[in-house]
Structure 1
Amino acid sequence: MIESGFITPIQRMETIGELKKNENVRQDGGSLFSDIFNNAVNDVKQTQANLEQQQYLLATGQIDDAHTVPIAASEAQMAVDMLVQLRNKAIDAYNELMRISL
């Protein structure tokens, strides 16, 4: 989520460490794992929408400070990069689990 122009952290490490094993699955069937990916996808959507809005305002001459467009572009790129890295790490973890012989 974006708060006042900044991407909020996915989850603080202290909070993750304090979760009990049985609290990882919520009552509605969701999990911390899916919440992290949902938040990352939502961050990408929100930063992309913000970038498109800033570009529209710049193109129509409704923006006073043009430096907000490159800042919004950087935020959108960082959100995409974070999502790609999360996906890559999840795939790596899955592959490691598949290599474990029982």
Structure 2
Amino acid sequence: MSMIPLNRLEPMQLLDQTSVSNKAKNNQYDFRNIFSEAVSNVVESENNLAKEQYLFASGQNEDTHSLGIAATKAQISVDLLVTLRNKALDSYNELMRISL
């Protein structure tokens, strides 16, 4: 059984300066990318919901299904973000409980 070594953690200031080739080479998601994608999904779904609500309220779109679908997508994306946040906090708290 082979052991995969852990990567060294870098300070937060250096995370923005990592090279694109290094990210492409690793081809992995880090926590920051996962959370930024989740936040952008929430923003995008909320904007889509606002657009659908406007179109329905102004009478430009009589399809109520698209409004319900947009509302459900927005709710699911918010729920996913909250779940990710809770899991990250649980993991952090568990790491803090580890005594060396």
TM-score band (shorter)?
0.7 to 0.9
- Gapped runs of 5+ residues in structure 1? 1-19
**RMSD across aligned C-alpha pairs, in angstroms?**
2.5
State the TM-score, normalized to the length of structure 1. Answer: 0.71
Aligned: 1:87 with 2:85 = yes
- Structure 1 segments of 4 or more deviating over 2 A? 24-31
Tell me the CA shift for residue 21 of structure 1: 5.3
Q: Deviations over 1:58-89 (max 9, x none)?
A: 00000142210000000000000000000000
| 1:32, distance to aligned residue in structure 2 (A) | 1.4
Query: Who wins on radius of gyration, i.e. which is larger?
Result: 2
Which structure shows the bigger proportion of residues in helix conformation? 2
TM-score by length of structure 2 reads: 0.73
Structure 2 unaligned residues grouped into runs of 5+: 24-28
Q: How many residue pairs were aligned?
A: 82
Identical residues among aligned pairs (%): 50
Partner amino acid, structure 2, of 1:52: A
